Homo-oligomer: A and B are copies of this chain.
Amino acid sequence: MTGRRAVPAEKRSRHPTEVRRRQVVRAALELISEQGIAGVSARDIARHAGVSPGTITYHFSGVREIIAEAIALEIDEYYTPLMAELRTLGPREALSRLVEALFTPETERHWRMWFEYWLAGLHDDDFVDRQAGRYATWQGQIRDIIVAGQDAGVFTSGDAAEVAVRFVALTDGLALQWLRGVPPLTGEQARDHLRRFAADELGA
């Protein structure tokens, strides 16, 4: 009796594939953000999702697929509403709102997952392509805000794409320091650094 059984939430319920997939991916997401990609096993995911190991491999080609989907889910849930909101705002307000949305306690999980994902991509080609697309999107949306601001005359002119590269790089780098917490960098300090950067580079 090794206690490896799944919690029999509701014995042998049948669901369409999509429902089961979401259930499993959601469980994986929680585990990855707590323990990292290297720290979760297929069994863990199954148990946490309340299904059997067999169900996992029935619906997925392997753990790798689950992890990829979990990260995709996480990223989509973070960016999709944020970006939708930003599109309703003017450039200045959009930039300001974006900075406020970064480094908040609720986004910590997101950043952990992002770096897990990024690093997995270093050694695992399966992840690289998806990663590239997401990164390009993220950077592109920031560039668009900058361009809009420059067109509207509220941001200093300059190469918007290049400023976006620096903005994203600075954000990532600040997240690394904020997440690790040593030397301590609070979310508010991290946001101040970004505001300072925006003021210098865009006059915002």
Nearest Cβ on chain B to A138's Cβ, whole angstroms: 10
Structural contact, B183 and A136, CB atoms closer than 8 A:
yes
Structural contact, B115 and A119, CB atoms closer than 8 A:
yes
Interface of A is mostly: helix
Q: Bound state CA distance, A34 and B123, in angstroms?
A: 7
Interface residue tally for chain A (C-beta within 8 Å): 54
Q: Bound state CA distance, A189 and B177, in angstroms?
A: 23
* CB neighbours of A200 from chain B (8 A): 200-201
Interface residue ranges of A113-147 to B (CB < 8 Å): 115-116, 118-119, 121-123, 128, 131-132, 135-136, 139
User: Top 5 A-B pairs ranked by shortest CB distance?
Assistant: A169-B173, A132-B182, A173-B173, A172-B173, A36-B123
